[in-house]
Amino acid sequence: MDELGLEDPPPREACGVFGVWAPGEDVAKLAYYGLYALQHRGQESAGIAVSDGSRIMVHKEMGLVAQVFDEPALTALRGHIAVGHCRYSTTGASVWANAQPTFRSTPTTSLALGHNGNLINTRELAALLGPAGQGSGGIAATSDTDVLTALFVSDRVQHSAAGDPSWAPAGVEAAAAVVLPLAKGAYSLVFMDEQTLYAARDPHGFRPLVLGRLKGGWVVASETAALDIVGAAFVREIAPGELVCINGRGVRSRTFAAPQPSGCLFEYVYLARPDTTISGQGVHATRVAVGRRLAAEHPADADLVIPVPESGTPAAIGFAEASGIPFGQGLVKNPYVGRTFIQPSQTIRERGIKLKLNPLRDAIAGRRLVVVDDSIVRGNTQRALVAMLREAGAAEVHVRVASPPVTWPCFYGIDFATRAELIAGRLSPTEICASIGADSLGYVSLEGLTEASGLPASRLCRACFDGQYPVPVAADDRGKHLLDGLSVGS
Ligand code: SF4
């Protein structure tokens, strides 16, 4: 169920992160606009932490970025370093306590941290803290993100980082260099102590993270689109296995683990903004190329190509271009659906898909349609969509999908569903076509999608399509949303 109680939520991205180091700038407002640009990556909670060099202040709340912050809240956050976060919970634990940035304070240091991704060995890491989060503020950690935050300020870990327990704490950077190689799974992190902004990306680089230059400062963000919006110039991607530290002494970088790049292929399909660039290639252009490929692999005899807005639009453009079938709008989307916290009444819930999409009857009636969608997860949306289009008078409905069948769950930060809930985990494409009531159904091939990304398969994670997990997940855990029994996902 999504926020409206509808039964087939789209894949949920598990967070956007943003960090800025910029003396003399209003860093809270820069973080606000950065998060505003990343709102699509997480719409359940938002938060910003700011440091003035000696003290960190955090403001976080449930809701959209624009609901969480107003002018007085941002004005109160004074300083020259900020980290921001917007979140989806991947476990349903959508509560304030899990909003980020997480914050931990000890007598020697404080830390605020934002995480995009999912760890798969949280229990193992939590054990490093000792009983009840010893040496990390004394509070037991409750999520994968909180465990990392606690470890980075833990006296135990900092002592071991220094190699001598009697030595003075070695600091967050040394602790991070010890802890990060031990963390398994997906993490793009932006964090700060009182004086330094840090950014780190797991050795596989599952989730994106980029570095940008501001006049007089630096920015790190989940997507290049967030750099554009705050006026920062793209410098480079944070490399898989890299830890970057930014403070008054400049930008330093260290490699904490050998890179084994496996960037998320699904970022190209749905997750990233179309105006974002990944590995030098625009996401919009990639999606258009996938649409062209789809037309070549699964042609259709039809009168009109329509997208399922908005994420199906670029692929529909590509399909129309390659097939010569005219492109048009056939569905109108309410852009605000899914962004309310008001529970729908039963009468409203029964309206189902019409809360999200409404057909343009004049455009559809009597036409043979190609309907292009970005992906099929459970299949409920497409079933309702096909029925709605037929009801609106469509003569034929040919569904084309700009990704291969999603057959496996994601353990690296995206909440699709369990394998049992994934329609392609149970049914063949022919059976899915019958199940959703379409005249024909075609998915782009995994090779086609991979080629369109411009990256070789060896540098991508494609696990939700082929079950090949770059970081192995125990067979017993593959049917679960929740790993380790701890709240995960950020
Ligand atoms: S399993 Fe799929 S969604 Fe998850 S990181 Fe890999 S490609 Fe992305």
Strand partners, 49: 58, 83
Whole-number Å distance, alpha carbon 39 to ligand 1 midpoint, is 20
User: What is the rounded CA–CA span in Å between residue 144 and residue 146?
Assistant: 5
252-261: long-range pairs with CB below 8 Å, 24+: 254/177, 256/176, 256/177, 256/180, 256/181, 256/200, 257/180, 257/181, 257/203, 258/203, 259/203, 259/205, 260/203, 260/204, 260/470, 261/204, 261/205, 261/459
422-434: average pLDDT: 96
Q: N- to C-terminal Cα distance for the chain?
A: 19
User: What is the rounded CA–CA span in Å between residue 397 and residue 359?
Assistant: 13
226-232: average pLDDT: 97
Ligand 1 nearest atom to the CA of residue 267, by list position:
8
Ligand 1 nearest atom to the CA of residue 470, by list position:
6
The predicted pLDDT at position 475 comes to 62
Helix or strand run (H / E) with residue 417: none
327-331: average pLDDT: 97
User: What is the rounded CA–CA span in Å between residue 204 and residue 117?
Assistant: 12
In whole numbers, what is the pLDDT of the chain averaged over residues?
88
Whole-number Å distance, alpha carbon 415 to ligand 1 midpoint, is 10
Whole-number Å distance, alpha carbon 462 to ligand 1 midpoint, is 6
Q: pLDDT-derived band of residue 387, with 50, 70 and 90 as boundaries? A: very high
- What percentage of the chain carries pLDDT values higher than 70? 84
Residues 462-490: tens digit of each pLDDT? 999 999 999 988 665 554 443 333 333 34
Among 15, 86, 433, 461, the active-site one is 15
103-122: average pLDDT: 93
Q: pLDDT-derived band of residue 348, with 50, 70 and 90 as boundaries? A: low
Q: What is the dihedral of CA 155, 78, 187, 7, to 10 degrees?
A: 130
The predicted pLDDT at position 350 comes to 55
User: What is the rounded CA–CA span in Å between residue 270 and residue 406?
Assistant: 12
Tokens 């009168």 belong to which residue?
Answer: 303
138-148: average pLDDT: 77
Whole-number Å distance, alpha carbon 467 to ligand 1 midpoint, is 10
Q: Determine phi and psi for 167, rounding to 5 degrees.
A: -80, 155
Who has greater pLDDT, 484 or 418?
A: 418
User: What is the rounded CA–CA span in Å between residue 163 and residue 451?
Assistant: 47
Cβ atoms of residues 329 and 371 within 8 Å: no
259-268: average pLDDT: 97
Nearest CA to ligand 1 atom 5: 264
Residues 77-88: tens digit of each pLDDT? 999 999 999 987
Cβ atoms of residues 271 and 232 within 8 Å: no
What's CA 284's distance to the chain center, in Å?
Answer: 17
The predicted pLDDT at position 415 comes to 80
Residue among 265, 270, 459 whose CB has most ligand 1 atoms within 8 A, to mutate = 265
Residues with CB under 6 A from ligand 1: 206, 264-266, 410, 412, 414, 461-464
The predicted pLDDT at position 390 comes to 97
Whole-number Å distance, alpha carbon 48 to ligand 1 midpoint, is 27
Whole-number Å distance, alpha carbon 267 to ligand 1 midpoint, is 8
Whole-number Å distance, alpha carbon 120 to ligand 1 midpoint, is 14
Ligand 1 nearest atom to the CA of residue 271, by list position:
3
State the Rg of the chain over Cα: 23
Nearest CA to ligand 1 atom 2: 464
Q: In the predicted model, is pLDDT for residue 74 greater than 90? A: yes
For 127-209, list the strands marked E by DSSP.
185-192, 197-201
- Residue from 183, 33, 173, 195 nearest 115 by CA: 183
Q: In the predicted model, is pLDDT for residue 198 greater than 50? A: yes
Judged by DSSP in three states, 205 sits in: coil
Nearest CA to ligand 1 atom 8: 264
Q: Quote the tokens at residue 269.
A: 């399909």
Cβ atoms of residues 211 and 204 within 8 Å: no
167-187: average pLDDT: 85
Q: In the predicted model, is pLDDT for residue 306 greater than 50? A: yes
For 125-196, list the strands marked E by DSSP.
185-192
Q: pLDDT-derived band of residue 343, with 50, 70 and 90 as boundaries? A: low
Nearest CA to ligand 1 atom 4: 410
User: What is the rounded CA–CA span in Å between residue 94 and residue 78?
Assistant: 28
Determine whether 464 is an active site residue. no
Whole-number Å distance, alpha carbon 380 to ligand 1 midpoint, is 21
Q: Against a cut of 0.85, is the pTM above it?
A: yes
DSSP 208-277: --EEEEETTEEEEESSHHHHHHHTPEEEEEPPTTEEEEEETTEEEEEE-S-----EETHIIIIIS-TT-E
Q: Residue 37 corresponds to which amino acid? A: A
Residue among 460, 462, 481 whose CB has most ligand 1 atoms within 8 A, to mutate = 462
Name which of 127-141, 346-360, 421-435 the model is least confident about: 127-141
Tokens 């909670």 belong to which residue?
Answer: 45
133-147: average pLDDT: 70
Residue among 267, 464, 478, 481 whose CB has most ligand 1 atoms within 8 A, to mutate = 464
DSSP 293-343: HHHHHS----SEEEE-TTTTHHHHHHHHHHH-PPB---EEE-TTTT---SP
Ligand 1 nearest atom to the CA of residue 408, by list position:
1
Distances (CA, A) of 433 to 231, 375, 382, 409: 46, 14, 10, 21
- What percentage of the chain carries pLDDT values higher than 90? 71
- Residue from 119, 36, 37 nearest 74 by CA: 36
User: What is the rounded CA–CA span in Å between residue 320 and residue 325?
Assistant: 5
